[in-house]
Amino acid sequence: MDNEANIDSSLAQPGATHYMNAPALQRGLHMPSRVKLFIALLGLAGLIVAAIFGFRAYDTIANAPSRYAESINEAIHTGPGLELPVLNNFVGTDTATMRNSFSDSKYSIIDVHEMYDDAEEVDEFTLDVVKVPSDMDRKLSEELFKKSLRRTGVVEAAHFLSGSWRFTAAMAEGTDIKVKYAEFDSATIEEAITKAIAAQGWSDSTFGEAGEDQSGNTFQSGTITINDQNFNWTVSACPLDEVYSVSGLPENSFYIGARLVS
């Protein structure tokens, strides 16, 4: 403010007392327009930054469970899949032929007996192999199998289970072949059993007993004739978490066992 412009020059005498002009003191302070614009833009920028961080924090917390479920679902449904063997096809064959069949199919197979260094104790009529996902490191697959999927991430476990099965055969006194695997695409355990029966080609065979076995598994049994010989089949199922302690898998995860016996 130009205070000198409001002082009477005739009173500008040495020793005189001068007073400011009241109107000059009562005038309001006016902020320049450029300063106002800068402050407004600064405040707006602060609001935008706060909103972005707030949205990211909310998204991280609120949508984390759904993203986690999506990653598990992707692990289950991407990759080579089960490529499930049909037990009927192995009737009348020996274990060497079975092994060659898996090799010809280009499966990634782990011999359970060799993995535990007891192959010399196994006779020629016995077979125990595990098919693992072909897109998973073989050494990692062996470690996961040995540890029964303990101390591993749920996504990794889901991918392993979705592409693996265990096949066993005991042919010394007839036919006794089994395949066990995880199933994630059925709403109920009954539906899972129905799908397993269809996958083995037993839907049109003679159905027998059904219910719950001594181990608490839900099962369906039946008989089928192959090459003029009668065989008994059984499909049993239980919740997957009764077999593997993997937290976070879908609730509709089941463990299936199909068996064909002469």
Backbone angles phi and psi of 189, in degrees to 5: -70, -35
**Per-position pLDDT tens, the chain of length 262:** 444 445 455 555 555 555 555 565 555 566 677 766 777 777 777 777 766 665 565 445 554 556 666 888 888 888 788 999 999 999 999 999 999 999 898 899 999 988 876 656 678 899 999 999 999 999 999 999 999 998 888 999 999 999 999 999 999 989 999 999 999 999 999 999 999 999 999 999 999 999 999 999 999 999 999 999 999 999 999 999 999 988 889 999 999 999 999 9
CA atoms of 104 and 229, how far apart (whole Å): 27
The confidence score (pLDDT) of residue 40 equals 73
Closest CA to 220 of 192, 179, 251: 192
User: What is Dmax (Cα atoms) for the chain?
Assistant: 137
130 neighbors 145 (Cβ within 8 angstroms): yes
Closest CA to 235 of 205, 206, 202, 204: 202
Q: Which residues contact 129 (CB under 8 A, 6 or more apart)?
A: 99, 102, 109, 110, 111, 112, 166, 167, 168
> Residue written as tokens 């598994």?
217
DSSP characters over 207-241: EEEEEE-TTS-EEEEEEEEETTEEEEEEEEEEEGG
Closest CA to 201 of 127, 260, 128: 260
Contacts of range 109-114, beta carbons closer than 8 Å, 24 or more positions apart = 110/138, 110/141, 110/142, 110/145, 112/166
* Strands of the sheet with 254-261, listed across from one edge: 108-111, 126-132, 165-170, 176-183, 254-261, 229-239, 218-226, 206-212
210 neighbors 221 (Cβ within 8 angstroms): yes
The confidence score (pLDDT) of residue 167 equals 98
203 neighbors 224 (Cβ within 8 angstroms): no
Backbone angles phi and psi of 27, in degrees to 5: -70, 140
The confidence score (pLDDT) of residue 5 equals 47
